[in-house]
Amino acid sequence: MNLELKNAEGYYDFTAYEAIKNISKFETNKSKNVVYICLPFNCNINKICQKAYKYSKFAFLKGYIPISVHIMFAQFMSDFGKNETEKIISMSLEILSRCDELWYFEKIVNEKNIKELEFAKKCMIKTRYFKK
């Protein structure tokens, strides 16, 4: 990026200069991608949270910032039954929309995961599959 103090007409333009300088600074500092950890929800919250911890740690050790809705939602949602499925999917997709990548680890794909995977594809979010 060209960081000239003068604008196209030849006048000094410190506002544009500072804005371009700040954008350049932000882009060079943004080195870690935010990764959405995608797992199927099931009735065994403890088991799925253990997997989410394991996969989040894996992403963290690879230099990424992991986001696991399983860990977050388990803190305040007691039941992952039919009544809350649509709420969970809606919140998950909102969080996924802010992530750089989606990582999927499981062999089983459920309704929620299909929606997440389709959403990631539609939004051109990089998707990676890992074998256990």
Q: What is the mean pLDDT of each run of 10 residues along the chain (132 residues)?
A: 61 66 58 86 80 94 93 70 74 93 86 88 93 70
Quick one: pLDDT at residue 1? Answer: 46
C-alpha span between 68 and 48 (Å, rounded):
11
Does residue 21 contact residue 35 with C-beta atoms inside 8 Å? Answer: no
Q: Where are the beta strands (DSSP E) in the chain?
A: 34-38, 65-67, 101-104, 126-129
The pTM score is 0.71
Q: Is residue 91 packed enough to be buried (19+ CB in 10 Å), middle (13-18) or exposed (0-12)?
A: middle
The one-letter code for the residue type at 124 is M
Structure tokens at 42: 């099931």
Quick one: pLDDT at residue 131? Answer: 78
